[in-house]
Amino acid sequence: MGVPLEFTDPGTFQPVKDMIGGGPFNLDPGMWTDDTSMALCLAESLIKTRDFDPVDQMQRYLCWYQEGHLSVTNECFDIGNTTLQALMKFAETGEPYSGPDHEYSAGNGSLMRLAPVPLFYMSQPLKALEMSGKSSRTTHNHPLAVDACRYMGGLIHGALMGKSKDEILSSHYSPVPGYWDEKPLLKEINEVASGSFKCKEPPEIRGRGFVVKSLEAALWAFHKSDTFEEGCLLAVNLGEDADTTGAIYSQLAGAYYGKSGIPKKWINSLKKLDLIEFIIDRLFKI
């Protein structure tokens, strides 16, 4: 959905209303970007190892980068700088937690692929939180990225458990009572968890690559909307890192609204739909 608006500045484009393709990589309608490829790699790793294996995850990400594994075009046509740095370090050292943690590495590249982890640990809420954070560290070791994934992992788990939107978006929601008291969030993520997205509008809300802004924008779209479609369009029409803002929103909204809440025309338009459904089905059967 965000493909045609990727890298565009707010106010410089006609808002999208449907799945139309295009964008900087000239993709067909229904094709997806690195967000989905990496999420599928993560899901495949959880399925094949039946465990959280960071080495296996990084091997699959590397296979995607080098060989186009689980890419919609069978090649890696886009990759974030932080992810690339981590993969190159892993290829050289074999260290799975290779994500950089310097000041410019707090990007959204781990948050965009997160959903398979809370899905895999649906019956273990504490693990859903802890492993969501660990899933960031493979490519994004900055504490802000790790905390964004911990927090969003809890929200996705709550949505999967059928919690109301008001409860999920309540201040500092966690499926594990008292968790944020014991393991506090960093200030910037804590502000989002306190509900900063409820009292802001664009241009304060921005779909940027910075993980704090991405998280805030996705939650703003979820909070402002009443359907999956409405929120998705709000998210991607922020422009800038539109595909990733849409991916982050849709992980939570998909868990909340379920497959039946996603427009059928969008699902049926997806390229390699059989592959996506096969991986999701196996993830739920473990």
Structure-block tokens of residue 100:
């950089």
Say whether 33 counts as a known binding-site residue: yes
Cα(94)–Cα(29) distance, rounded to whole angstroms?
Answer: 37
- 127 DSSP 8-state letter: H
- Beta-carbon contacts of residue 270 (< 8 Å; ≥ 6 apart): 30, 32, 276
pLDDT tens by residue, 186-224: 999 999 999 999 999 999 999 999 999 999 999 999 999
Q: Are 45 and 135 in contact (CB under 8 A)?
A: no
- Residues of the chain with pLDDT > 70, as a percent, come to 100
Is the pLDDT at 103 greater than 90? The verdict is no
**pLDDT value, residue 266:** 97
Say whether 227 counts as a known binding-site residue: no
- 20 DSSP 8-state letter: -
pLDDT tens by residue, 105-134: 999 999 999 999 999 999 999 999 999 999
pLDDT tens by residue, 239-277: 999 999 999 999 999 999 999 999 999 999 999 999 999
- Beta-carbon contacts of residue 274 (< 8 Å; ≥ 6 apart): none
Say whether 34 counts as a known binding-site residue: yes
Say whether 35 counts as a known binding-site residue: yes
Is the pLDDT at 152 greater than 90? The verdict is yes
pTM (predicted TM-score): 0.97
Say whether 244 counts as a known binding-site residue: yes
Q: Are 69 and 57 in contact (CB under 8 A)?
A: no
Cα(111)–Cα(153) distance, rounded to whole angstroms?
Answer: 9
Cα(129)–Cα(121) distance, rounded to whole angstroms?
Answer: 9
- Overall fold of domain 32-175+182-284: ADP-ribosylglycohydrolase fold (1.10.4080)
Which residue has 């139309």 as its token pair?
20
Task: Give the number of other Cβ atoms within 10 Å of residue 94's Cβ.
Answer: 11
Nearest residue to 220 via CA among 210, 179, 236, 21:
236
Terminal Cα distance for the chain, rounded: 30
Q: Where are the domains of the chain?
A: 32-175+182-284
Chain center to CA of 252: 9
Looking at this protein, which amino acid is placed at residue 71? Answer: S
Structure-block tokens of residue 131:
């492993």
Is the pLDDT at 37 greater than 90? The verdict is yes
Q: Are 254 and 227 in contact (CB under 8 A)?
A: no
Mapped onto helix, strand or coil, the DSSP state of residue 30 is: coil
Query: Confidence class of residue 69 from pLDDT cuts 50, 70 and 90?
Result: very high
Say whether 181 counts as a known binding-site residue: no
**pLDDT value, residue 284:** 86
